[in-house]
Structure 1
Amino acid sequence: MGCVGSSQIKGEEKKKIRKPKPWNHSQPITNTQLNRMRDEFWDTAPHYGGRKEIWDALRAAAEADIAFAQAIVDSAGVIVSSADLTTCYDERGAKYELPRYVLSEPINLIRES
């Protein structure tokens, strides 16, 4: 019926993903620092639970443009709970939470030359 692991009801549309809302880091951050935070998250993400192949698909979607990201999550069977990809589920009901910093850049990003 309405549980996360149930199949989709005929006529019900999948949630379309969109870019995350603008956000600020607690302090100005450089591109290098942001990339380090992202790498650290993705390196440890499978340890939070869920399946590695779903984490890999979510990483690919987070690093792709919106149209391609939609195709990635659809083909991986990811159930998008929040349109900005911050909360997703797999077909078995495992929850995947992505921090905003892996999905977009903060407003207060310091561009390095």
Structure 2
Amino acid sequence: MGCAGSSQTKGDENAKKIRKPKPWKHSQPITMTQLRQMRDEFWDTAPHYGGQKEIWDALRAAAEADITLAQAIVDSAGVIVQSADLTTCYDERGAKYELPKYVLNEPTNLIQDG
């Protein structure tokens, strides 16, 4: 027999808990304005890399949210997290989504604008 709770646990085994990405350093110091521009360019072109626009939108929302909200977003969108820091994810159809570190957090060598 089995109980309803046992099947729920099996489904949860595939769900990775996301975490904040490790600190990283850009090849040269950049300003917040430059970082925002890089992020905007990535998100504007991301759907052209393949996959579903809805998943890209969910990943953007998750990347810009705190960890708790980000976890809820990826769970509700059906995103399969391969790397706990969200750098590699899949949708339910198997399409791969790769996020660069610069959309997930700031570099250690971020400098003030101006």
2:49 maps to 48
The structure having more radius of gyration, on CA atoms, is 2
Secondary structure class of the residue paired with 2:27: coil
Partner of 1:83: 84
Relative to structure 1, the CA distance from residue 15 to residue 42 in structure 2 (aligned partners, 3 Å threshold; closer, same or farther) is: same
- Structure 1 distance, partners of 2:79, 2:11, is 18
Which amino acid in 1 is paired with 2:55? I
**Cα deviation code 1:14-38 (max 9, x no counterpart):** 1000000000000000000000000
Q: AA paired with 2:15?
A: K
Q: Which residue matches 1:4?
A: none
Give the 3-state SS of the residue equivalent to 2:20 in structure 1: coil
TM-score normalised by L of structure 2 = 0.89
Q: Which runs of 5+ in 2 are unaligned?
A: 1-8
Q: Give matches, 1:59-74, under 5 Å.
A: 59-74=60-75
Amino acid at match of 1:91: E
Structure 1 residue runs of 5 or longer lacking an equivalent are: 1-7
Structure 1's 33 and 18: CA in aligned 2 closer, same or farther, altered over 3 A? same
Query: Aligned in 2, Cα 1:90/1:13: closer, same or farther, shift over 3 Å?
Result: closer
- Structure having the higher helix fraction is 2
Residue identity matched to 1:23: W
Corresponding position of 2:34: 33
Query: Which residue of structure 1 lines up, in the alignment, with residue 100 of structure 2?
Result: 99
**What CA distance in whole angstroms lies between the structure 1 residues aligned with 2:39 and 2:11?**
37
Query: How many residues of Structure 1 are paired with residues of Structure 2 in the alignment?
Result: 106
Cα distance change of structure 1 residues 55 and 10 upon mapping to structure 2, 3 Å threshold: closer
SS at match of 2:71: helix
Letter matched to residue 94 of structure 2: G
Q: Which amino acid aligns with 1:48?
A: Y
Aligned amino acid, residue 28 of structure 1: P
